[in-house]
Amino acid sequence: MEFVEWYPRGYGVGFKITSKILEVQSNYQKIELYETEGFGKLFVIDGTVQLVEKGERSYHEPLVHPVMLSHPNPRKVLVIGGGDGGTLREVLKHESVENAIMVEIDEKVVEVSREYLKIDGGLLERLIRGEEPKAKLIIGDGVEYMKSHKEHFDVIIVDSTDPVGPAKLLFSEEFYKNAYDALDEKGLYITQSGSVYLFTDEVLGAYKNMKKAFDKVYYFTFPVIGYASPWSFLVGVKGDIDFMKVDLDRAKTLDLEYYDPERHETLFQMPKYVRDLLEGK
Ligand code: SAM
């Protein structure tokens, strides 16, 4: 058996499957879990690959650590989405973190991840029991949370599904403006933003919307296992933080496998035509 995610224009990313573990329809989306031949478990939402067990860090590390290491002292962190627990797991590796909140819309994703996927090292279970001293899980819509939040954050990480269904508004100008307001005096915002080659228009659209909300916007790519790479990430800055620089001393405490802080500048490699488009040439 095979699982293939089909992207636009007939481009596919596929895995050989040894068994199907489950398929369940939640109130928001269809969740599937498979065992693959060489990459451990494969987690799929509405037909799109969310992660493979042996390779998920190639997504979670570039999503979390560049912004955390660029901020001088990230104490308060908000994660939107990320129901598998991988993003929060990486956030909590930073000793500076005092308070992290994760807002995931779909309780079923958390349940399936906790019981079957288990990339979180027991974190989701501890969150549900209220036994994780520095972190809290809220089941709710990130868009609504961002309108009504009381707290302010040093770093906001959007680990969402693609910009359709419940995640659509997470890529809107209004959402970015609310996120800017939810950051402290200075702070960093990051979102995954899709395949550079196959969703170029979506990346450009999100980039333009972010430029209307943040003081500075950066764009970088990373080769993610299981996605139509290079995968893109957009970073919005509030205040005087230079995202081209990261704290290499703090990086030494992190046990990284994919993102290389000593080669931080390599994140900014991109196809020439994409840079031309972003710079409006
Ligand atoms: N960590 C995964 C990976 O490695 O690619 C990424 C995906 S994570 C499972 C995406 C989550 O975003 C899903 O669980 C989905 O329910 C959640 N999500 C989508 N829209 C949301 C919204 N508006 N508010 C909060 N969570 C949302």
Annotation-wise, does 50 bind a ligand?
no
pLDDT tens digits for 60-113? 999 999 999 999 999 999 999 999 999 999 999 999 999 999 999 999 999 999
* Neighbouring residues of 103: CB distance < 8 A, sequence distance ≥ 6: 78, 79, 80, 81, 138, 140, 141, 142, 145
User: Exactly one of 106, 154, 159, 201 is catalytic; which is it?
Assistant: 159
**83 CA → ligand 1 middle, Å:** 6
163 lines ligand 1 (CB under 6 A): no
**280 CA → ligand 1 middle, Å:** 31
The domains of the chain, with CATH numbers, are 2-52 (2.30.140.10), 57-278 (3.40.50.150)
pLDDT tens digits for 20-38? 999 999 999 999 999 999 9
Q: Which atom of ligand 1 is nearest to the CA of 109?
A: 14
106 lines ligand 1 (CB under 6 A): yes
Burial, 160: exposed, middle or buried (Cβ in 10 Å; 0-12, 13-18, 19+)?
buried
Nearest to residue 74, comparing CAs of 56, 51, 113, 100?
Answer: 100
ipTM given for this complex: 0.92
Q: Taking the complete model, does pTM exceed 0.90, yes or no?
A: yes
The residue nearest atom 13 of ligand 1, judged by CA position, is 81
Residue 130 CA to residue 196 CA, distance in Å, equals: 39
Annotation-wise, does 60 bind a ligand?
yes
Residue 78 CA to residue 157 CA, distance in Å, equals: 6
Contact (Cβ atoms closer than 8 angstroms) between residue 138 and residue 101: yes
109 lines ligand 1 (CB under 6 A): yes
Other C-beta atoms closer than 10 Å to the C-beta of 144 total 12
Q: Where does the pLDDT of residue 52 fall: very low under 50, low under 70, confident under 90, or very high at 90 and above? A: very high
